[in-house]
């Protein structure tokens, strides 16, 4: 979910005298740092795999049922009121997790000790003034990480106010982030609520990708719901951009398989351009995690409820070399605990 090449793109645009009405959110390319098997490497190009026919389970909702109704906001609530001077209540119907599955004995271990909500102490290399919609006014902040953050001191990152972490696990159907297992273990031991995300690759079938994620991400009590990261990746060897109907179908197949395995409804992470092309009004019953680094999500994704907001890709923190993505939960501390189910955070035996 990193945003490489931001400065170069912005400088080139300014030098050329861009007059587009599209905002900074639209001109920043996708996750440039996702140099994995799903990304082209000049020295060793990856052959795109032709997709197989997608077959949804009999329990899957149809695309027509799940994808095309726009969630309605209350008549007395304006989009700008989602975050005000005090945190606004989130829609629990949209964010409450599904019942969690039974956890095998092998997945149980002693609980992490630290369950306190730590105050945000991050800095930002490129701070944005969000005005009265500042993410600082929300209580529960966290990060997302991948191999590009290197060797993380999770205890220091926790002290800086990271209450949760989403960790890059897999992409495509054959690649695992080389730091995933170390980060998964370190985040759990430091007391962070942790979850895993999958970067979706449009040249592999959804079923293959779901099986790969399930194979590599343990089912652990207290883990955050899994995340499907859907974006247009400008550096990928896969140049395919499926139709909206195909995108929604593939996402549905992937999310149904994960929900059946983990017992939690997956969270959808996305960016402004991909959302505009594919996700307006889609998946009203799934929680969304929205990237919006220049304006409040209500301005970039009007009418869309959200669970997490990625408000910066240039965060700075003790415990991490370089920059890190910063995120916030849309609710109060008590709503965070209610959404988490009141369960203790468990670290697995590895």
Q: State the catalytic residues.
A: 231
Q: Which two tokens stand for residue 112?
A: 């992490």
3-state secondary structure of 123: strand
Report in angstroms the alpha-carbon separations of 336 from 77, 121, 143, 341: 21, 19, 15, 9
How far is 55 from 193, CA to CA, in rounded Å? 33
Q: Quick one: which of 120, 62, 123, 131 has its CA closest to 298?
A: 131
The stretches of the chain forming alpha helices (DSSP H) are 6-16, 24-27, 63-67, 92-95, 154-159, 180-189, 206-216, 244-262, 272-274, 297-300, 333-340
How far is 98 from 341, CA to CA, in rounded Å? 10
How far is 5 from 238, CA to CA, in rounded Å? 19
CA dihedral sign of residues 100, 216, 178, 288: negative
């Amino acid at each position: 979910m990193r945003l490489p090449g931001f400065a170069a793109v912005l400088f080139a645009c300014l030098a050329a005298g861009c007059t587009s009405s599209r905002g900074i959110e639209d001109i920043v390319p996708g996750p440039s740092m996702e140099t994995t098997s799903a990304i082209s490497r000049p020295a060793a190009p990856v052959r795109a795999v032709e997709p197989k026919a997608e077959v949804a389970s009999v329990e899957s909702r149809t695309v027509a049922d799940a994808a095309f109704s726009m969630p309605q906001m209350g008549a007395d609530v304006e989009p700008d009121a989602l975050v005000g001077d005090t945190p606004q209540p989130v829609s629990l119907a949209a964010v409450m997790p599904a019942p969690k599955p039974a956890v095998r004995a092998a997945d149980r271990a002693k609980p992490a000790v630290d369950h306190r909500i730590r105050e945000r102490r991050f800095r930002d290399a490129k701070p944005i003034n969000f005005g009265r919609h500042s993410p600082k006014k929300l209580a529960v902040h966290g990060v997302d990480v991948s191999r590009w953050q290197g060797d993380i001191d999770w205890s220091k990152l926790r002290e800086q106010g990271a209450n949760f972490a989403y960790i890059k696990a897999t992409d495509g159907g054959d690649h695992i982030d080389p730091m995933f297992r170390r980060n998964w273990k370190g985040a759990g031991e430091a007391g962070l609520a942790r979850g895993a995300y999958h970067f979706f690759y449009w040249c592999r079938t959804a079923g293959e990708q779901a099986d790969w994620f399930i194979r590599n991400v343990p089912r652990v009590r207290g883990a955050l719901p899994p995340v499907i990261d859907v974006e247009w990746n400008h550096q990928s060897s896969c140049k395919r951009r499926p139709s909206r109907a195909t995108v929604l179908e593939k996402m549905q197949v992937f999310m149904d398989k994960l929900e059946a395995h983990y017992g939690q409804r997956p969270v959808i992470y996305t960016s402004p351009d991909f959302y505009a092309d594919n996700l307006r009004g889609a998946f009203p019953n799934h929680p969304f995690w929205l990237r919006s680094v220049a304006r409040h999500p209500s301005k970039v994704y009007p009418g869309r409820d959200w669970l997490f907001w990625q408000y910066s890709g240039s965060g700075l923190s003790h415990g991490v070399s370089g920059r890190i993505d910063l995120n916030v939960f849309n609710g109060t501390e008590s709503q965070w605990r209610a959404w988490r189910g009141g369960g203790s955070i468990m670290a697995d035996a590895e």
